[in-house]
Amino acid sequence: MTFDLTRHPHRRYNPLLDEWILVSPHRTNRPWRGGVESLPLERRPRFDPDCYLCPGNTRANGERNPNYESTFVFINDFAAVLPDVPMAQAGDESLFRARSVRGEARVICFSPRHDLTLAEMSPAEIRLVVDLWAAQTSELGARFSWVQIFENRGDMMGASNPHPHGQIWATDRMGAIAAREDKQQRAYRESNGTNLLRDYARQEGQIGERSVLENASWLVVLPYWAVWPFETLLLPKSPVRRLPDLDDGQRNDLAAILKALLVKYDNLFEVSFPYSMGWHGAPFDSGDNRHWQLHGHFFPPLLRSATVKKFMVGYEMLAEAQRDITPEQAAGRLRKASEVHFKLR
């Protein structure tokens, strides 16, 4: 019997996180009698008087949002991290270690329109979000070493409000996942003399079977080691350390490829596709960051329909992450999905 990645259970290595995942391609057709998530309500007004993110409305802390016309940023009224925390650490040699964290949490509104999502915004409007992500990264990077931009989209991902928005948490230390990516990219550069994600993008571009979209500056792939069924990685084609380093052309190309990817996602199950996404770029420390390459991660939970998601449970919690549909099959489905939004058809 010859080993076949499309039929036989196997493990794949994630070089960014130094971990393995289990792939069970033979299991895709098992019957489903489990939970069905309810479909999110799709009809929303352009302006919701009860939305704390809509222009002119009052937020929980009593502040009133301006009548913004494109994007809007404010400090999270229920911030998970705070700037004024005494510097301290305790129990360094023990089983009970703790250390203080300083940071700042912001909320960013992508549009004044309550009824839109990034997928339904124009590339020109998405470009303004790219510029905002870049400007916020520079501003917060001057004060904090790690700037984490992210978006939780949809009820399924715990978003508290459908108004198009994301968050930024900047901290004086890298999060554990970011730190692992830093370590792995550094080790790869030390042993190969080249950049891990640039080498990966070049090879995926040549192989093609996991590529989803490509333009002059960007490549979107479904990573070889993807855990979530339709997870994707956005990779610049030239060396870029951080979002603010993107030039005008790269920003326009990013807006265009984000639009195309998000429309494909929505078209997959004809639903406003839930996901968590975020950016990873070089930390703002004084070290040599040549091992870093900017990249975006999309982690969508849906597996087989608009209502059936992948659960990260038993084996995943106790041994390692597992997937059924192969990354190559999932990439093929995303490639085939239309770039015209289903709501416009």
Stretch of 126-134, 161-169, 198-206, 336-344 lying at the interface with Zn ion (CB under 5 A): 161-169
- Residue of 77, 270, 288, 320 that binds ligand H2U (CB under 6 A): 77
Smallest distance, Å, CB 270 to ligand H2U? 23
Which are the catalytic amino acids?
165
Residue closer to ligand H2U, measured from CB, 65 or 322: 65
Residue closer to Zn ion, measured from CB, 69 or 93: 69
Distance from C-alpha of 132 to C-alpha of 74, rounded to nearest angstrom: 12
Phi, psi of 90 (to 5 degrees): -140, 150
- Residue of 160, 192, 194, 338 that binds ligand H2U (CB under 6 A): 160
Smallest distance, Å, CB 237 to ligand H2U? 31
Reduced to 3 states (helix: H, G, I; strand: E, B; else coil), residue 128 is helix
Q: Which does 126 bind (CB under 5 to 8 A by kind): ligand H2U, Zn ion, none?
A: none
Q: Does position 78 bind ligand H2U by CB under 6 A?
A: yes
- Residue of 22, 51, 135, 187 that binds Zn ion (CB under 5 A): 51
Q: Give the residue among 169, 156, 138, 184 at the shortest CA–CA distance from 16.
A: 184
Task: List 107's β-bridge partners, or say none.
Answer: 74, 167
Rg of the chain, C-alpha, whole Å: 21
Residue closer to Zn ion, measured from CB, 53 or 256: 53
Residue closer to Zn ion, measured from CB, 158 or 249: 158
CA dihedral 267, 269, 274, 276 (to 10 degrees): -70
Q: Nearest to Zn ion by Cβ — which residue?
A: 51
Q: Does position 54 bind Zn ion by CB under 5 A?
A: yes
Q: Does position 107 bind Zn ion by CB under 5 A?
A: no
Q: Which does 37 bind (CB under 5 to 8 A by kind): Zn ion, ligand H2U, none?
A: none
Q: Which of residues 86-125 bind ligand H2U (CB under 6 A)?
A: 107
Q: Give the residue among 118, 292, 313 at the shortest CA–CA distance from 227.
A: 313
Q: Which residues contact 203 (CB under 8 A, 6 or more apart)?
A: none
Q: Does position 148 bind ligand H2U by CB under 6 A?
A: no
Distance from C-alpha of 214 to C-alpha of 224, rounded to nearest angstrom: 17
Distance from C-alpha of 344 to C-alpha of 293, rounded to nearest angstrom: 36
Q: DSSP for 26-91, please give it.
A: GGTT----S--PPPPP----SS-TT-SSSTT-B-TTS-B----SS-EEEE-TT-SS-S-----EE-
Q: Which does 60 bind (CB under 5 to 8 A by kind): ligand H2U, Zn ion, none?
A: ligand H2U
Report CA-CA distances (Å) from 240 to 164, 176, 181, 290, 321.
Answer: 27, 22, 16, 9, 30
Residue closer to ligand H2U, measured from CB, 78 or 96: 78
Q: How many of the chain's residues bind Zn ion (CB under 5 A)?
A: 6
H helix or E strand, kind and range, residue 146: strand 146-153
Q: Does position 113 bind Zn ion by CB under 5 A?
A: no
Smallest distance, Å, CB 265 to ligand H2U? 18
Q: Give the count of beta carbons closer than 10 Å to the beta carbon of residue 18.
A: 12
Residue closer to ligand H2U, measured from CB, 76 or 307: 76
- Residue of 16, 21, 23, 53 that binds Zn ion (CB under 5 A): 53
Phi, psi of 72 (to 5 degrees): -155, 135
- Residue of 12, 15, 16, 52 that binds ligand H2U (CB under 6 A): 52
DSSP summary character for residue 280: E
Provide the binding-site residues for ligand H2U, judged by CB under 6 A. 52, 59-60, 76-78, 107, 152, 159-161, 167
Provide the binding-site residues for Zn ion, judged by CB under 5 A. 48, 51, 53-54, 114, 163
